[in-house]
Amino acid sequence: MSCFRLQPAPAQEAALAEHCAHARYVWNLAVEQHAHWKPGRKNAPGFAEQCRQLTEARAASSWLAAGSVVVQQQALKDFAQAIANFFGGTHRRPTWRKRGRSEGFRIVAVKTGDVRRLSRNTGEVKIPKVGWVRFRWSRAVPDGVKSYRVTRDRAGRWHVAFAAVPAPIPAPGAGQVVGVDRGVAVSAALSTGELLNVRGLRDTEKARLRRLLRKLARAKRGSRRRARVKTAVARLKAREADRRKDWVEKTSTDLARRFDVIAVEDLKIRDMTRTAKGTRDAPGRNVRQKAGLNRGILAAGWGRLVRRLEHKAPGRVHKVNPRHTSQTCNACKHVARESRESQALFLCVACGHRDNADVNAAKNMRDTAAGHAVTARGGLPLGGPVNREPQPGLPSAA
């Protein structure tokens, strides 16, 4: 997807919001029809039947008829694909869409000339029943795009994303393997010794966010003041998310270009970030500490980093069993919990090997991936150099 920042006029912004409302309304109707379906009962209506029902609904509702049928039919088509993914076991069941969340709609069958460039930094896209809407031309628009999606985030920013599958990044062909250990204190530690961190909010921005959250807690529900504070909070959160996405894109591209095989831990992030609140009968323990850990994991972009690596380097990402990777000495392979002196220091109790704890874990993952019979893109066997640094008292790796 190639995403661009839309710059709609006030009247156009109202029309885009109306399209979002129509798409959300149609999607929620489809969710309601499938919510009561169970195996053995009459089949829920499919895409063709829902399109027929949409025609009847547009004839009965002037509000729905005033919208674009392309937007509404595409919402049904997206839902049909979401249901197919759910039954295929690749995605979760489609859920309700709420106002202010997941706002957007899709346009298909884009014609030649529906996207044009006005100047060096400005372009226009043609949206049904809205007209030409300007967007910031920050990169080249992919050729031959057939669809695009318009979205609005919680900060009130509009974006347009053109559907295009970029070509994967070719492997360098040097046979190099790298291990990537993801953490909270250090976002990503490489087996080369590099420590990478996501650039989040600055201290002044964090202080402002705390003040805004206190104001939000005191504001009356439904008031204009509360709406303004919520928008200000959303803008800060969006700034943090943008920086995280930027870091993930740059880091994943750099790793895909430098290394033939990238080893990461096979972590179940959804299970790791579950709440510890428990139930009324069995309340959890250390709930606040667990909530802080969950926020740290999500802020580090663990899942997004691996997904983007798999997109940019398909077939070159090796997922390693995380068991004992942080307790195993990379020099002598001795496993002991006591070797993990602290969050940052690894001091082997058997051989005295000393290293950064995250880097030591990344080296273990690198060695595990290098030990498998994997062939990089370009046909170079990975039995060659594995980028292993010499250890004190041990012969260097060939």
For residue 189, give the nearest of 336, 307, 346, 339 by alpha carbon.
346
For the chain, state the CA radius of gyration: 25
Three-state DSSP state, 355: strand
Three-state DSSP state, 346: strand
Which residues lie closer than 8 Å to 347 by C-beta, 6 or more apart? 339, 341, 353, 354
What 3 state SS string does 66-125 have? CCCHHHHHHHHHHHHHHHHHHHCCCCCCCCCCCCCCCEEEEEECCCCCCEEECCCCEEEE
Q: Which residues are catalytic?
A: 181, 265, 358
Tokens 């961190």 correspond to: 197
Whether the Cβ atoms of residue 198 and residue 298 lie closer than 8 Å to each other = no
Q: How far out from the chain centre does Cα 327 lie?
A: 29
Tokens 């628009």 correspond to: 141
Three-state DSSP state, 180: strand
Whether the Cβ atoms of residue 365 and residue 202 lie closer than 8 Å to each other = no
DSSP secondary structure of 254-285: HHHHH-SEEEEE---HHHHT----B-SSSB-S
One-letter identity of residue 234? A
Query: Which residues face 318 on adjacent strands?
Result: 263
